[in-house]
Structure formats: structure tokens, C-alpha cells
Structure 1
Amino acid sequence: MSFFTDPEVLLGTKLLEIVYILIGLVSFNTGIKNALDEKNPSRLGTAIFWCSLGIVLAFGRWIPPIINGILIIVMTIPAILNKVKSGEQDEPTEKEMAQAYNEIGMKIFIPALAMGVSAIIFAIFTDLGALVGVSFGVLIAMVILRIYSERNSLKVFLDDSERFLSLVGPLSMLPMLLASLGAIFTEAGVGEVIAQIVGNIIPEGNVNIGIVVYALGMMLFTMIMGNAFAAITVMTVGIGGPFVLKYGANPALVGMLALTCGYCGTLLTPMAANFNIVPVAILDMEDEMGVIKNQVIPSLFLIVFQIAYMIMFK
């Protein structure tokens, strides 16, 4: 309890830790439920994966780093061996879904909108941060859904959380792992290496060519990393800073658009699992690359527009 009573720890950090504890408990619930599910073909592996993840998320702050590392390694073993499966799912029938739609209609989008609005309000008007805002928005969404129907009990929310996590499986960890990889790349000096390589290609002082290479680098590196937030640190250190910002380009404009250039890469890579692979699993699509194929043309149009915009208004 010393962490929560420490006056030097910001309130936002304390609240965020509570959120991680709750997320960890949800993951642990997923592991226990699958362990008890006799229809799950890989009960043990599934339980090990989700329970290990739950322990790290909920209590990682207080567990020695070596233990956290061991738990993460243990967690990856069933995922590597393809032993994380989904068990029996109590999914609503088409009739039940049609009935629910007739009762709620387009109001179903209000809970989702509440989460986004809450995140914006917390980010702009408080010091607690957008992540705390999203979490508060989830609570608001739960209340709204409860108002819609008394059938939406806490058990329903837990069961649907387990169903969604089981459906996505280990892919749910990919965004976090890729973001960590970006930090590792930055610490390892990958940005400096890229700067040395690019320095032999870009004419010194040519900001326009620097912008083109920076934007395309963000797109390509995001395709590799699967995460624009992981890519922008490395690309800004390696290209954006020394070849664009150094010569007077507007850092707010260039930085904002560089991130959206990375999002163009997000549209084109299976590494962005939460965008391009998870929908395939949820919708039972036959073509695993179906989402990406439909995003190729928009992505190319966007990258060209954003490069032109940066050059014009830099």
C-alpha cells in the first residue's frame, strides 16, 4: 500500500495502476475459465498464458523484475506452441442479436462514443491522462449498457471480456510487445545507425528530400514494427531531427504528419494485429489478408497527400 499512499506519486499514476490491476484480474479470469472448460482443446496452455499475463499486469510493479521476466517467458511458450485456444463460447443467437438491435438500434454506438469523449476530456481538462479517461469511459459505457438492459450484469461484462480475449488470443499482446521493441531499438542506438546510412543518401540541407525519406521511412518502419508510436522515436532520431527539423521545419506540423505517415504503414502490415488481424478473427474472414488488401489504395493516396502537405507548409 506504500505506493498508493506515497504523496510523491501522482494521482493519475495511482489510478492507472488500479486500471492495470483490474485488467490483470480480467486476464486471470480468462485463464481460470478456460482451465475449467472441458471443451477447450488446450486448457493447460490457455490457462498458463492468461494467468501469467494477469499476474504481470496486476502485480508486476511489486514483483521482482527477474520474476516478471520468467513469467513473460513462461507466457510465450504456449503461444509459440499454438496451445492457446478458445473454449466453449456462449454467443448470442441471430434471433437474440436481432431482438437487441430492435430494442437499442443505433444507440449501441453511444457507449463507444462515451469512451472516446471521456479520454478527450481527461486529456485536455485534467492532469490524470487520456488512459485514465478511457478507463473512466469504460465505466460510463457499462452504466449506459446496464440502463439499456437489465440483462447486462457484471457477469455478462466478464463473460464477454473473456470471449473477446479468447477469440483474439496471443495477438492481443502484439501492440504492447511492439511498443516495447521500439523503446529497445531507441536505447540500442538504431536511430543513430539509420542517420549514418541516410546521411550518405540525402543531400545536406535539402529539406524536401529529407521530408520524403522521413515520411516513407515512417511508413516502412511502421510496417516492420506494427506500431507508429514505436517507429516515430527511431525515425525522428535517425531522420526527422538531423535532416528535417534541423533546417527549420515546423516541428509540430512535421511531427504530427510523420505520425500519420506511420499510420499509412499500419494499414499495410499484419504486424498491426489489432487493426488488421483481429478483425479477421472476429469476423471469421476466409482471407487473412482481406483487411489489408482493402486498405492498400487509401494508404497510398494518404502517404502522397501527407508528403505534399509537409513540403508545402513546412
Structure 2
Amino acid sequence: MLISLDHIYYVLGALIAVVALLSFLDKNNPKRLLTGTFWGLYSIVFLFGTMISPVYMGVLVIAMAVIAGFGGVGTGRHEEATLEQRTAKARKLGNWLLMPALLIPAVTVFGTLGLKDFKLGGLQLLEKANLTLVSLGIACVLALVFAMLLTRDKGLQPVRESRRLFDAIGWAAVLPQMLATLGALFAAAGVGEVVAGLVSSAIPVDNRFMVVLAYGVGMALFTMVMGNAFAAFPVMAAGIGLPLIVQMHGGNAAIVASIGMLSGYCGTLMTPMAANFNIVPAALLDLPDKNGVIKAQVPTALILLTVNIFLMYFLVF
């Protein structure tokens, strides 16, 4: 195997490590030491995650939570081009500006479908177990290189822009990964079995539609509590999706997983717990109502959730 998910993690960890260093050196950030420490600890997760024992990794995560909880992650000053400069450059580049963003899904799909069995020197080019994620990582790197060639930016400018985004999002940038881990912990602790018991006592499990309804609504509600569909999925799949829909009623596991995740995303649209999706944009846009993004998304989320439930019912069996 030539390129694995670990290699993608190393690249991401190196990027975050440089962001941490730039934060340490930013004298305009009154919280530069704690901010740099926060991002430095986060980079360790990716750079040395396979070498550090779970106990020490847990201590590291707690340290990050303490720094963020006491407001230790601050924002520095960033040099930005003026509106006139950005407008002039955008007009010069035109629609080519869209190419880096379009390159990411194109390369990801090509890697996932076209390189799944490709070998180089007798070795599998991409790690099969995480083929899509590895392809996505490669796509992001290629898009970055293309964007640098397109804009003719050199040196640390891409990293500086990354740091600007990290500062804008703040500690919420780590939420998806942490919440997904929490979902895995809940599944390992047997929360899914508890959910299965509660559902079995509350609804007639021999009714296919009621089971699908419980799964779809449960994914949305648990996502609203956890803040992330990745955290809700292991619990709801272990509690309802696999034992009731797949094993009891013979449903298609792939459809259960895919539409179940879409149902969870409907919950993401309706919760402040998904801070990086709903609260951070409101802050960046200076909206007077910090829940304004959520309120605008609720009607769409409810309609999509209803559609997902009926899609699953008609397609899964």
C-alpha cells in the first residue's frame, strides 16, 4: 500500500502544527500562548494518534476542552487584501476560481471508482479500507496546488489563510471529530441496546413503517442532542437500524445507512449543538439573532426528514 489514511492525517497534522506555530508567534493575539497550545495539541492527535495510548490521548482531549471552556482560544490579526484588490483579482480569474472547488469532488470520485484496484509496483496505490477518505485527502492537496498555481500565491500564504479560517471558526472546528468519537463510545458502552429496548416497548416492532419512522426521527433527534450525525449513527444503527430494520424485516443495510445519515443531517440543521454549522456562521455574518441560521433551516429540515422517512420505507425493503 502506497497511500493510506495515516498519510492524510500526517499532512493535516503538519498543517495544524504550522497554524499552532503562527498562533504562538502572533503578538497581536492576547491569548496567543493558549491558542497555540490548543492547536498544537490538536495537531498531535493527527501526527501521533497511532502511537499514543488511549489514556494519554484522553488527557490531551481534556486539556483541549479546558482551554476552550475557559475561553483560551483567541483570534489574532490577519492581513487581508482590500475589497478592491479582491474584486480586481476575481474579475481577472473569472470562472477559473471555481476550479479548485470542483476539482475536489471530481478527483474524489475518480479515486474511489477508478483507482480502487490500481496497483503500482505490485502495491495497492490507495488504501482500500478507507478508499473514499484517502481519495478526498489527495483531492484536497491537488486542489490546493492548483489554487496556488492559479492565484500565483507562494510560501506560507495558504497556511496563513488556513489559520484565518481556524481563528474564525475557533474551537468548534474540532467538534465533528470529537462528537463522532463520542458516538463510538456510546455504541461501545451499549447505549444502542438500551435504545432498542426502549423502542421495542414503545412501538409495534412488527410494523415496518413504525420501525422506519422511529429510526429516521431517532436519527434526527439524537443528532440534535449530540450535534453531529456521525455521533448519532453508531447508536441508532445498533439500536434500531441493524436489529429491527435489517435483521428482523430484511432491509437493505446500505440504504439504511445512507438514508439514515441523511435523516441525521436534518437534525444537524435544527440544533445549536452543531455550532460549527449553525452558530459560527451566524457570528461570522454578524446576525442579530444567533439562532437565525437554525430558524431559517427548520422548515427545510422537517420537509427533508419526512421525504427521507418515506424514501427509506419504499426503498429499503
TM-score (norm 2): 0.89
Contact 1:115–1:133 at 8 Å: present in 2 too?
Answer: no
Matched length: 302
Please state whether the residue corresponding to 1:90 is helix, strand or coil: coil
Structure 2 counterpart of 1:120: 109
1:97 aligns with 2:98: no
**Alpha-carbon distance, 1:170 to partner:** 0.7
Structure 2 counterpart of 1:286: 288
Contact 2:179–2:226 at 8 Å: present in 1 too?
Answer: yes
1: distance between equivalents of 2:69 and 2:295?
Answer: 27
Match of 1:130 among 123, 129, 132: 132
Contact 2:19–2:163 at 8 Å: present in 1 too?
Answer: yes
Contact 1:37–1:87 at 8 Å: present in 2 too?
Answer: yes
Instruction: Note closer, same or farther for the CA distance 1:60–1:310 as it changes in structure 2 (3 Å cut).
Output: closer
- Structure 1 unmatched ranges of 5 or more: 1-9
In the TM superposition, what are the counterparts of 1:87-236 in structure 2 within 5 Å? 87-127=76-116, 128=126, 129-150=131-152, 152-236=153-237
1:38-87 CA deviation, whole Å, 9 max, x = no partner?
A: 21121221111111112232123233444333332222222110011011
CA RMSD of aligned residues (A): 1.9
**Alpha-carbon distance, 1:224 to partner:** 1.4
Contact 1:214–1:239 at 8 Å: present in 2 too?
Answer: yes
Contact 2:224–2:268 at 8 Å: present in 1 too?
Answer: yes
Q: Percent identity?
A: 38
2: distance between equivalents of 1:67 and 1:203?
Answer: 45
**Alpha-carbon distance, 1:269 to partner:** 1.4
TM-score (norm 1): 0.89
1:44 aligns with 2:33: yes
**Alpha-carbon distance, 1:106 to partner:** 2.8
1: distance between equivalents of 2:289 and 2:19?
Answer: 28
2: distance between equivalents of 1:268 and 1:63?
Answer: 36
**Alpha-carbon distance, 1:197 to partner:** 0.9
Instruction: Note closer, same or farther for the CA distance 1:277–1:241 as it changes in structure 2 (3 Å cut).
Output: same
1: distance between equivalents of 2:170 and 2:205?
Answer: 47
1:86 aligns with 2:75: yes
Please state whether the residue corresponding to 1:45 is helix, strand or coil: helix
1:83-125 CA deviation, whole Å, 9 max, x = no partner?
A: 1101111122111111121112232121011111111222222
Structure 1 counterpart of 2:299: 297
1: distance between equivalents of 2:75 and 2:91?
Answer: 30
**Alpha-carbon distance, 1:22 to partner:** 2.2
Match of 1:273 among 264, 275, 279: 275
- Structure 2 unmatched ranges of 5 or more: 117-125
Contact 1:167–1:281 at 8 Å: present in 2 too?
Answer: no
Q: After the TM superposition, which segments of 4 or more aligned residues of structure 1 sit over 6 Å from their partners?
A: none
Instruction: Note closer, same or farther for the CA distance 1:52–1:205 as it changes in structure 2 (3 Å cut).
Output: same
1:261 aligns with 2:263: yes
Contact 2:13–2:46 at 8 Å: present in 1 too?
Answer: yes
1:203-247 CA deviation, whole Å, 9 max, x = no partner?
A: 141111111111100111111122222212211221123332211
